[in-house]
Copies of this chain bind each other. A is one copy, B any other.
Amino acid sequence: MDREDLGALFARATRRLVDAERPLLAARGLSMWDYVVLSHLAREPAGTQLALARAIGYDKTRLIGLLDALEREGFVTRTPDPADRRARIVSLTPAGATLHAAAQADVHAMEDELLAHLSPTARRRLVATLTELTSGTPDD
Contacts and interface: CB of A to CB of B under 8 A. Distances in A.
A48 interface: no
A10 B4 contact: no
Nearest to A125: B125
Interface string A107-132: 11001001101100010011101111
Interface string A1-45: 001111111111111111101000000000000001001000000
A12 B8 CA distance: 14
A104 interface: yes
A61 interface: no
B134 A3 contact: no
| Among A7, A12, A107, A117: residue with most chain B CB under 10 A | A7
